[in-house]
Structure 1
Amino acid sequence: MEISDGLLGPLLLARSAIDRSAGLRGDEAWLERAWAAEKTRVLLVHEGQTLIRRFTDGAALVLMAPAEAPEGPRYLLGVDDDGVPYFAVRAPLPPGEAAGLRNAAVLLDDRDAGLLVYAVALEAWHASHEHCPRCGTRTEITASGHMRVCPRDGSQHFPRVDPAVIMLIHDDDDRVLLARGPEWPEGRMSVLAGFVEPGESLEHAVVREVLEEVGVAVTAPRYMGSQPWPFPRSLMLGFVARAATTELRPDHEEIAEARWLSREELTAQVESGELRLPGQVSIARRLIETWYGGPIADLDG
């Protein structure tokens, strides 16, 4: 089965329904008015989690008015089509049901999923970039959470993401290559992935990572889609590629096990519980199901 381009469709962590409104981040007068407006809504985020409210068929973020929000670093997330501003505040969560992206994203609509991904990504960056990399001075938050400035040397620092390639490899016998890392439990497997190195193209990273991790040479990597993965700050860039060789020689520091699977073998192993696939929130799951030809029902489905 040939995998066509552009079949990943909307990815759960790549959704959004607001304008990020970058031009307003430095407008102090507008920010002050927005924070005072009753219609403004605030999302609390703490260590990657927020409060949610569950319904029969999904969930929604618990959003509050600015007057109800606790003190804490404040990030502008944007404005929706109705002119409602959204902010995130980094602060401990009050009592309620707390959830992170891995559990909540499949339950949230486009607006709420986009807001939570954005807030979690900003929080993670700020938590690890509190000091100037040049002189070590504690930096100050500006631009409504989208820049930190060193008060000593004046250097400006902006949120960064780490690009990572994630690739589904298939061979001429129409088998898929799955693997697991040493820290993963028995049976939990996924496609291969790795960070892009300095001075490297995405396509070269695909070829290099597969060869390094399992000893397989691949050809013709094709881009399929991307989504943020703020654990803590990655951007996952999905590819498919065809194997030119099939002998598996895993690098056991990174790969505990790797195997080729036909659709029939994958189905049987999933149904028996021998194999567990990545969760629905991941681009890995979508790549596998695109190759498979449809949804796969398992414990995480």
Structure 2
Amino acid sequence: MSHSTLRAHQSALRHFASYVANPDYGWDRVCEQRFGTHPAQVFYEWNTSSHVQEFEGRPSKRPFTREELQMLFDHADDEVELIEASGKKGWQAAYRDAVMLKMAYSFGLRFNELRHLQTVDFATNPHARKFGKFGVCKVRFGKSRKASPPKPRSVLTVFDWTAGVLEDWLANGRGTLHSLDLFPSERGGLIVESTLLRRLRRYLNELGMPSDGLDLHSLRRSYATHLLEAGWDPRFVQYQMGHEYASTTGIYQFVSDDFRSTTLRTSLDRTMDQALGKQSGGQR
């Protein structure tokens, strides 16, 4: 059980104990009559898990490398072709899941944001018309704060291949369904997380990738990591991810060793060049 789940259970029990132990509701008198004793609060700060830092995820979780992502997406496409060529049912579901995996990475989406996308949630970006009508993805079911409605945001398209994947899915995969849902299930409802997660785990096993540490959220981690490695402004990545604070985006900065080595080498070379320039200038 994760730390956040344990804390949520303890919080629920704490609220219930506060309710039954409150004399204003009269349960203490009822319990005295029936059991000869009364309820009391037993959950305190010193004996329950606390929320002391923003990130509570497991340290084993990580993003995909670019090579791993390419292998995954290629394998997902091959699976669609194999099922269709065999004449069996299921090619459309495999195609849908392949596009969902790509879109989760392409826009850095959480699963709940992904499953709620509809065909009307895309618009043209006047500053990037090369993406056509898929220049902006309007996320309407973003992660909310406690007791608040979903937090909407707009995510700008950054990858050249995104629009083509969506156009092909709408034209050849999704078909002429009456539903506005971009990724409807076989029964017309919304996809559940376990459906896509099973598909992902099977593909990882077939590719021989260690599934420990990789999940659907790893696609979102990969999105932030790869943008930062490519030199995108951290502030822009923060807005794309829907993070209120830059420190939250910093959690996703799983930059590779190669990237860090290159950055360090560049900085050292720049410092050396400046030092040599000053030295030669002083000699002159």
Q: Does the alignment reach a TM-score above 0.5?
A: no
Higher strand share: 1
Higher-Rg member (1/2): 2
**With structure 1 as the length reference, what TM-score do the two structures score?**
0.23
More helix by share: 2
Normalization by structure 2: what TM-score? 0.24
